[in-house]
Amino acid sequence: MLLAVEQTRLRISKNTAAKRKSQLGQFLTPARTAQFMAALFALTPEHACRLLDPGAGIGSLSSAFIERCIAGDLDFAQVEITAFELDDLLHAELRNTLASYSPRIPLHYEIVGGDFIEEAVNRLQFNYGHSFTHAILNPPYKKINSDSRYRHLLRQVGIETVNLYSAFVALALALLAPGGQLVAIIPRSFCNGPYYRPFRDFILERAAIRQLHLFDSRTQAFKDDAVLQENVILVLERDGPPGDVTVTTSTDDTFSDLTTNIHPFNRIVFPDDPECFIHVPTSLGRNAIERSTAIRCSLDEIGVAVSTGPVVDFRLKEYLCSQPEPGTVPLLYPGHFNGQGTEWPKPSLKKANAIRRNLKTEKWLYPIGFYCVVRRFSSKEEKRRIVASVVQPADFGDAEMLGFENHLNVFHEHKHGLPEALARGLAVFLNTTAVDENFRRFNGHTQVNATDLKTMKYPSREQLMALGYQAQDLPGDQQTIDQLVQGLQTE
């Protein structure tokens, strides 16, 4: 039966316009992924199973779950399924999928065509229908505006989040009975960043993380729909005690190179991390950053701050100039940095090279000086997620101020420049392989937020300045940079 469901999925995926997929934010789950997810539910003593499948599509996930029950891996006297699906064009296929199992297992199912968020909020507010024992979901991926109806509905039940996928997971978790299990395939973006902090708090306060599965490839989990997103499969136990977390990885949904490691919870969420970032270590041992006794300082402790570049170009469009002219100061975009230095002005950039200095723009500018900058977005082809560069005053003639565009993160001291050696030392440290590997444990997308950089640990101010002095006399290749930081004291 699961093969038939998969053939239906491929047919519907092929014949559904990309625009409609984007509007709904929903991509149907491939059969192998559905089987893997269903296999992650642990055996429980419950006599009956009450399964929640929000965003059920054509029933791929419910089908995989039922197949496991039929095989005897999950021993329930009866199974009840509540399947939510907003797209009524899929209801007939979903009904056919579930009905086909009725002769083979004691099964009762309900297809709810309404809006899952609205229905779930009603159930929670009026205290009914929230005793599911299991939840399996591939939720829609779409942003929620801050003043939208969904945002207001979610706030009524204590959920603050920015995307449909995290809203679905939070609501499904809230609808589970104590000890209930949830398995979801979702983008990895919730693991870090300030926008998903309330969502992380919500799930960590109400559940234990039992397993994380990471797909190494961005393109393979939903390759039939050309989805470019780093996905994880998350396994939660409602009201479960914290404990060891199983971390599995595979390149794609064949799971042919599956690796499994078990980590203590304090390697997944660090006890001293106020942001509650969720790390996904891909090897059993601690990495070089974790092992080092020298890399233990916060930015506050080394006297440095990091901020997002304050110049939002479309808001200051009337003051931008394609080339420098009297009354302007340099405006820096990521494209002005080439890894070896700064190219400014850059006529081929197709961006402004300068911004007028006046009463309207003065508050967005920084005094000339040495700064370390990190691009907020790296391309998928780049080897490193964090790409740091040094801003050198000599590159800008007699300019007194600088503008940093919003796609840059800027390391500074009270909105002023850094000592040259400190700026260079920060860039050396941030460009190392060890930092990149550590960063990937909690960041699954190409964006590098200022909050991510604030959360990281650094060498001391003195050690960073020593790195900066050394780097001036050495080539800037990756091997040399890595060797410089490896020279810091380790356990």
* CA 439/CA 383 separation, integer angstroms: 13
Quick check: 476 pLDDT over 70?
no
Q: Which domain holds residue 365?
A: 305-486
Q: Are residues 78 and 200 in the same domain?
A: yes
Nearest to 424 by CA among 385, 472, 379: 472
In a domain? residue 291: no
The rounded Cα 246 to chain-centroid distance in angstroms is 19
In a domain? residue 491: no
- DSSP labels for 127-175? T-S--EEEEEE-----B--TTSHHHHHHHTTT---SBHHHHHHHHHHHT
* CA 70/CA 87 separation, integer angstroms: 28
Q: Are residues 261 and 375 in the same domain?
A: no
Cβ-based burial of 408 (10 A; exposed 0-12, middle 13-18, buried ≥19) = buried
* CA 185/CA 456 separation, integer angstroms: 27
The last residue of a domain, from among 254, 285, 316: 285
Written as six digits, the tokens of 214 are 């990471």
Q: Are residues 11 and 56 in the same domain?
A: yes
285-293 mean pLDDT? 69
In a domain? residue 221: yes
Query: pLDDT band for position 52 (50/70/90)?
Result: very high
Q: Are residues 430 and 378 in the same domain?
A: yes
Nearest to 301 by CA among 150, 110, 454, 477: 454
Query: pLDDT band for position 11 (50/70/90)?
Result: low
Q: What is the pLDDT of residue 227?
A: 43
In a domain? residue 326: yes
Q: Are residues 331 and 216 in the same domain?
A: no
* CA 158/CA 456 separation, integer angstroms: 29
Tell me the pLDDT tens digit for each residue of 332-341. Answer: 999 998 866 7
Q: What is the pLDDT of residue 399?
A: 94
Tell me the pLDDT tens digit for each residue of 133-180. Answer: 999 999 999 999 988 999 999 999 999 999 999 999 999 999 999 999
* 354, 320 contact by CB (below 8 A): yes
Contacts of 166 by beta carbon, 8 Å cutoff, 6+ apart: 186, 190, 196, 199
Q: What is the pLDDT of residue 3?
A: 58
Q: What is the pLDDT of residue 380?
A: 52
pLDDT above 70 covers what percent of the chain? 86
Q: What is the pLDDT of residue 470?
A: 84
Nearest to 61 by CA among 117, 11, 101, 2: 2
The H or E element that residue 10 is part of is: helix 2-15
418-435 mean pLDDT? 92
Q: Are residues 324 and 243 in the same domain?
A: no
Q: Are residues 332 and 442 in the same domain?
A: yes
Looking at every residue in the chain, the average pLDDT score rounds to 86
Q: Are residues 231 and 312 in the same domain?
A: no
Q: For the domain that residue 240 is a member of, what is the CATH number?
A: 3.40.50.150
Q: Are residues 140 and 249 in the same domain?
A: yes
In a domain? residue 297: no
- DSSP labels for 184-240? EEEEGGGGSSSTTHHHHHHHHHHEEEEEEEEES-SSSTTGGGT----EEEEEEEETP
Helix (H, G, I), strand (E, B) or coil at 388: strand
Contacts of 149 by beta carbon, 8 Å cutoff, 6+ apart: none
Q: Are residues 269 and 408 in the same domain?
A: no
DSSP 8-state class, residue 241: P
In a domain? residue 240: yes
Peptide bond before 345: cis, by omega within 30 degrees of 0?
yes
Helix (H, G, I), strand (E, B) or coil at 291: helix
* 3-class SS string, 297-366: ECCCCCCCEEEECCECHHHCHHHEECCCCCCEEEEECHHHECCCCECCCCHHHCCCCEEECCCCCHHHEE
Count of alpha carbons within 13 angstroms of residue 12, beta-carbon side: 24
Written as six digits, the tokens of 78 are 């009866």
364-374 mean pLDDT? 96
* 38, 137 contact by CB (below 8 A): no
Taking phi first (over 0 means left), then psi (-120 to 50 degrees means alpha), and beta for anything else, what does residue 444 get? alpha
Say how many domains are in the chain.
2
Tell me the pLDDT tens digit for each residue of 432-444. Answer: 888 888 787 766 6
Quick check: 17 pLDDT over 90?
no
Q: Are residues 140 and 271 in the same domain?
A: yes
- Other C-beta atoms closer than 10 Å to the C-beta of 395 total 15
Q: What is the pLDDT of residue 22?
A: 47
446-455 mean pLDDT? 84
Q: For the domain that residue 455 is a member of, what is the CATH number?
A: 3.90.220.20
In a domain? residue 296: no
Q: What is the pLDDT of residue 308?
A: 95
Nearest to 165 by CA among 55, 22, 28, 17: 55
Q: Are residues 61 and 23 in the same domain?
A: yes
Query: Among all chains, which residue has been given the structure tokens 């990495």?
Result: 287
* 221, 227 contact by CB (below 8 A): yes
Tell me the pLDDT tens digit for each residue of 207-237. Answer: 999 999 998 754 444 444 444 458 899 999 9
In a domain? residue 468: yes
